[in-house]
Amino acid sequence: MDKFTIKNPIKSAAVKLTLSYLAIIMLLSVGFSVFVYHISDLELSHSLRRPIPFFNRYSPDFTSYLNLRSDELTEGRNHLKDNLLLFNLATLVTGGAISYLLARRTLEPIEAALEAQTRFTADASHELRTPLTAMQTEIEVALRNPKLSADEARTQLQSNLEEVAKLRSLSNGLLLLASTDGKNIEMAPVELAEVTKTAVTRLRTLAQDKHITIKTELGDHNLRALADADSLVELLVLLVDNAIKYSPPRTTIAIQAAQHGKHVELVVRDQGRGISRIDLPHVFERFYRADQSRTKDQAASTIQAEGYGLGLSIAQKIAEMLQGDIAVKSTVGKGSTFTVTLPVAT
């Protein structure tokens, strides 16, 4: 149903755009044909009126010659008309095909944006529906229980509060994701040491709760990137938070930075369970969670991750906004390495 609702308007728009392109092409072709015919006709008529010195103007031979040239002129005009008609028919067919290809190529980004928007809306609706449905079910069950005790009510409220926290987390993620789309920022030299310090400070409590150590290995503490400081801090927070979320207790997360030519690389390396090769190409997609490689089952692992699959998508958006790039390498059972590449500040 989603593809049907998306592609029909795109196809309709492609047809309209094709007709518009074709109308312009045919207008130019017909105008050119009229111009060529007019010029050619004038030239043919001028040659007919050109005097012939070796004929007596009043002789029968001269009259026959004029009639012959008049017939040739008529035949030339008809031949010219046929050629121009064939030219315009060929232009119509070729121009139609080219116009459709150009129209499809023009609409491809719009089609991709519509598909992404529809998919995003469907995913967001599903994620919002899950905690709301859980809250509704729990409340309805509690209301039907006439012997609901104070302890049971307190437990019910605590469960609802957890669902509200999930909704708040999802809303914050959606707002942050929306704020990165089309955002204009001012690029300036940013001290990577300062950015790293700010990000680690924000996540220190979360790391301590899981007994995870965050180590910074910046090498050159004067290393600077051309970026926006607040956005780069948010990007690093997202990557380190993701590493904490999917790392077992008593492990280490390393933050490294180095310069390579005209770019600097900011690396976040964890010792988590890693990401499978099947999931690896999708980790930056919105609402994608690699549950098989990064399970939430406490019985199988000590890792318990709560999230909506928005963090890495937001990180990628911020990296693109900073005119940089983000990549990931991972080995199941050994951990993951996220590398952000940014232009160096000169």
Q: How does pLDDT run across 181-212, given as a tens digit for each residue?
A: 656 678 899 999 999 999 999 999 989 999 99
What's the Cα-to-Cα distance from 144 to each of 75, 148, 151, 153, rounded to whole Å? 97, 9, 16, 12
Which regions of the chain are under pLDDT 70? 1-8, 47-66, 120, 123, 126-127, 176-184, 219-221, 289-308
- What is the pLDDT at residue 343? 92
- What is the pLDDT at residue 300? 34
The whole-angstrom separation of Cα 274 and Cα 104 is: 40
- What is the pLDDT at residue 180? 64
DSSP class of residue 147? T
**Burial class of residue 249 in the structure, from the number of CB atoms within 10 Å of its CB (0-12 exposed, 13-18 middle, 19+ buried):** exposed
Walk me through the domains of the chain, giving residue ranges and CATH numbers: 1-181 (no CATH), 188-343 (3.30.565.10)
- What is the pLDDT at residue 109? 83
- What is the pLDDT at residue 305? 45
| pLDDT tens digits for range 105-117 | 888 888 877 777 7
11 neighbors 110 (Cβ within 8 angstroms):
no
The whole-angstrom separation of Cα 162 and Cα 52 is: 105
Q: Which two tokens stand for residue 99?
A: 């116009």
Three-state secondary structure call for residue 99: helix
Sign for the pseudo-dihedral over CA of 205, 270, 321, 285: negative
- What is the pLDDT at residue 86? 92
- What is the pLDDT at residue 81? 87
Question: Could you tell me how far CA 221 lies from the centroid of its own chain?
Answer: 35
- What is the pLDDT at residue 49? 61
Q: Which two tokens stand for residue 3?
A: 């593809």
- What is the pLDDT at residue 159? 83
- What is the pLDDT at residue 154? 87
248's CB contacts (< 8 A; 6+ apart) are 271, 272, 273, 301, 302, 303
Q: Looking up tokens 């490689």, which residue turns up?
A: 293
- What is the pLDDT at residue 117? 73
Amino acid at 154: R
